[in-house]
Structure 1
């Protein structure tokens, strides 16, 4: 590890030489820095329409892969048994 990096290594705001002692080149431990942003990152939620489209697309793909001969009937049956799920509504 370069000296300039070792001199500036901080862990929770305190220079931590213990981290440097455990670091071995090629040992699988990586040292990196992450920029801190003020506040939390906003979680992006899918709209109900987008969830519904993805769920139906996945259902069609899954049923066509497993039972292509009966795909239409099985898809229709699944849509009838769980209509709210395939409209994009969550169980929560």
Structure 2
């Protein structure tokens, strides 16, 4: 089975933007693009080279760019993105085990 990080990256971007909006924080196009590049830089590496989970990447981004220290969990995201995070984890675990 082939795995693509693109749906996960897109879901994380949409849900993170919704989270920031709920916190009364406006997200500029540049900030959205920075989040996309940040996620792509990590999640397009080989699975064995990835050192952070999707939620760690988002939490680090929120801390560095918005000084938000509240930690999001996989359940903080939409049901679809939660499923994609779990799929990423299962895929990573199966590759690491080999």
More relative contact order, 1 or 2 (CA 8 Å, 6+ apart): 2
Larger radius of gyration: 1
Q: Would you tell me which structure has more strand in proportion to its own residues?
A: 1
State the TM bucket, normalised to the shorter chain: 0.3 to 0.5
Q: Tell me the TM-score normalized by structure 1.
A: 0.34
Q: Tell me the TM-score normalized by structure 2.
A: 0.32
Q: Would you tell me which structure has more helix in proportion to its own residues?
A: 2
